[in-house]
């Protein structure tokens, strides 16, 4: 497959832009279907989290793939293509695999080493499977990425270098408003991030734990799971009262607009007792807490923008040896995956070659039967076995060797050579593979005219197998 990754994340775009580009409601599914339906795309998967939006696709045309996917991303996020271009990155083939494996290990996360990304990648794969946009290639790739992520967490101490975004956020809250233990906590939302927040707060020893969600049944289920810690759910209509009775609020909903307005927060802060400020940890994208809350008296807000700044200051300070160990694992796994994919890609061609050889032998034996009708059955059988042995011996060494060579960089050329030298029917190869024969998409050399459908301002991409100079900034790993 020719893997192309196009996206933006906290490393390339400001939080404000990520917030505007956030995909909510049915938008992820619609973008996924649109990407899969694009002419250059064979398969598609989407990874959409609070700090990244990435399309993983199998393409047969590099330029057209980048151009069409970037336009689709702009259309479905509502951010103009001109504004997006400055923040998008592109990874291609081995570099794209390296990027995904690095993401799976938490190396590209806001909080380096966090393990939540594995669940988010699994969600992205599940969505692509449910919508039938991921074929064998992306399924194998994502499954391997999940295995690499698990290996990194098992074989290294990367967990010590990183934390969940929830834990990291609560530490920032504690620095400003005091220990979490003993606080009255309110969790707004009942999704995976909210569930993690509620569990973390319960373990931290909060004195009260209230869950509020628009769908009350989900809040009730989450509260029931934490009943041993005294958690309970209240209707969303009582959010204002719950807000006034809390010392700490963690909000992470999937709402498209503000959930906690400045007016509601002001009213809650005025009704509170105690000298410590009302702490608000907003982990939603787009944000749940009104931006005006940052300037309110008696209120302290920590959101993704705050966390991004804090993460940048602490990046690389701890766990450097573990991070380096994970990078070595990623490099090793990328090499192994690439070799296995290249070797597997030539198998249909080898099978088609052997099938053609068998058909030639069969035809010649039938011709011999017609010319020598006096041969007895035993002689005919011996002749057939002898001819087949000769053909097998002639093909054995070259087919074994070509599989070995195919595992090396540039190995796809060996399959093409076999098809050309032995005049193999592409349809026969396709029948063995169960999918169309796709020549890997080649990024043309600089100066080659781009597709007319490219968005304004794009230059030609780099030479084959590199993306370092593409106008969409290629990112390490």
pLDDT of 187 > 60? The answer is yes
CA-to-CA distance for 373 and 355, rounded, in angstroms?
27
* Strand residue runs (E) in 271-376: 278-282, 299-302
Mean pLDDT (whole number) for 405-420: 75
Helix/strand/coil percent split, the chain, to 5: 55, 10, 35
Confidence of residue 337 (pLDDT cuts 50, 70, 90): very high
Beta-carbon contacts of residue 154 (< 8 Å; ≥ 6 apart): none
pLDDT of 412 > 70? The answer is no
> By mean pLDDT, which of 90-94, 335-339, 380-384, 415-419 is the weakest?
415-419
Asked if 294 contacts 263 with a C-beta cutoff of 8 angstroms, the reply is no
pLDDT of 421 > 60? The answer is yes
362-398 pLDDT per residue, tens: 999 888 888 888 888 898 899 999 999 999 999 888 8
Beta-carbon contacts of residue 45 (< 8 Å; ≥ 6 apart): 32, 55, 56, 57, 124, 125, 127, 128, 133, 134, 138, 142
pLDDT at residue number 78:
94
The CATH classification number of 165-314 equals: 3.40.50.720
pLDDT at residue number 314:
65
Residues taking part in catalysis = 50
The ranges of the chain annotated as CATH 3.40.50.720 are 165-314
- Higher-confidence residue: 467 or 292? 292
The ranges of the chain annotated as CATH 3.30.460.30 are 3-161
Q: From the centroid of its chain, how far is CA 55?
A: 7
pLDDT at residue number 165:
85
- Assess if CATH 3.30.750.24 describes domain 3-161: no
Q: From the centroid of its chain, how far is CA 419?
A: 34
pLDDT at residue number 454:
35
- Residue 279 pairs with which residues in a beta bridge? 248, 300
CA distances from residue 98 to 105, 114, 336 in whole angstroms, order as listed? 11, 18, 11
pLDDT of 343 > 50? The answer is yes
CA distances from residue 281 to 39, 235, 304, 431 in whole angstroms, order as listed? 43, 21, 9, 55
Q: State the residue for tokens 């193999």.
A: 424
Token pair belonging to 314: 């602490």
pLDDT of 169 > 80? The answer is yes
356-369 pLDDT per residue, tens: 888 899 999 888 88
Mean pLDDT (whole number) for 20-37: 94
Alpha helix (H) residue ranges in 92-178: 94-104, 116-130, 136-155, 158-161, 165-177
> By mean pLDDT, which of 10-14, 205-209, 412-416, 459-463 is the weakest?
459-463
pLDDT at residue number 274:
66
Confidence of residue 455 (pLDDT cuts 50, 70, 90): very low
Confidence of residue 162 (pLDDT cuts 50, 70, 90): low
pLDDT at residue number 193:
87
pLDDT at residue number 428:
66
Confidence of residue 438 (pLDDT cuts 50, 70, 90): very low
Token pair belonging to 376: 């007895």
């Amino acid at each position: 497959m020719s893997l192309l990754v196009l996206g933006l994340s906290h490393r390339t775009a400001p939080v404000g832009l990520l917030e505007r580009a956030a995909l909510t409601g049915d938008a992820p599914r619609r973008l996924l279907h649109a990407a899969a339906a694009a002419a250059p795309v064979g398969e598609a998967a989407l990874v959409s989290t609070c700090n990244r939006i990435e399309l993983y696709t199998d393409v047969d045309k590099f330029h057209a793939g980048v151009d069409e996917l970037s336009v689709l991303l702009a259309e479905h996020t509502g951010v103009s293509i001109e504004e997006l271009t400055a923040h998008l990155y592109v990874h291609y083939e081995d570099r794209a695999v390296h990027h995904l494996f690095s993401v799976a290990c938490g190396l590209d996360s806001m909080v380096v080493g966090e393990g939540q990304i594995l669940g988010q990648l699994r969600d992205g794969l599940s969505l692509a499977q449910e919508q039938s946009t991921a074929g064998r290639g992306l399924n194998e790739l994502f499954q391997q990425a999940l295995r690499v992520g698990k290996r990194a967490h098992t074989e290294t101490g990367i967990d010590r270098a990183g934390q969940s975004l929830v834990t990291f956020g609560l530490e920032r809250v504690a620095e400003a408003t005091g220990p979490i233990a003993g606080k009255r906590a309110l969790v707004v939302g009942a999704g995976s991030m909210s569930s993690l927040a509620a569990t973390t707060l319960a373990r931290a020893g909060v004195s009260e734990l209230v869950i509020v969600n628009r769908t009350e049944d989900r809040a009730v289920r989450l509260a029931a799971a934490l009943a041993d810690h005294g958690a309970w759910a209240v209707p969303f209509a009582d959010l204002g009262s719950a807000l006034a009775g809390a010392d700490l609020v963690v909000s992470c909903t999937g709402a498209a607009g503000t959930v906690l307005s400045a007016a509601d927060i002001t009213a809650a802060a005025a009704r509170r007792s105690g000298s410590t400020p009302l702490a608000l940890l907003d982990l939603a994208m787009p944000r749940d807490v009104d931006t005006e809350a940052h300037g309110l008296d008696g209120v302290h807000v920590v959101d993704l923008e705050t966390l991004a700044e804090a993460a940048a200051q602490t990046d690389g300070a701890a766990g450097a040896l573990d991070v380096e160990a994970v990078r070595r694992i990623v490099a090793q796994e990328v090499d192994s995956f690439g070799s296995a994919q290249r070797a597997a890609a030539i198998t249909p061609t080898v099978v088609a070659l052997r099938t053609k050889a068998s058909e030639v032998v069969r035809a010649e034996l039938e011709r011999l039967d017609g010319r020598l009708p006096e041969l007895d059955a035993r002689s005919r059988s011996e002749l057939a076995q002898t001819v087949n042995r000769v053909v097998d011996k002639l093909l054995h060494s070259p087919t074994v060797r070509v599989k070995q060579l195919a595992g090396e960089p540039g190995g796809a050329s060996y399959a093409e050579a076999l098809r050309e030298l032995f005049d193999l029917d592409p349809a026969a190869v396709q029948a063995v593979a169960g999918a169309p024969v796709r020549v890997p998409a080649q990024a043309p050399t600089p100066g080659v005219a781009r597709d007319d459908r490219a968005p304004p301002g794009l230059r030609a991409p780099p030479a084959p197998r590199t993306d370092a100079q593409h106008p969409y900034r290629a990112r390490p790993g």
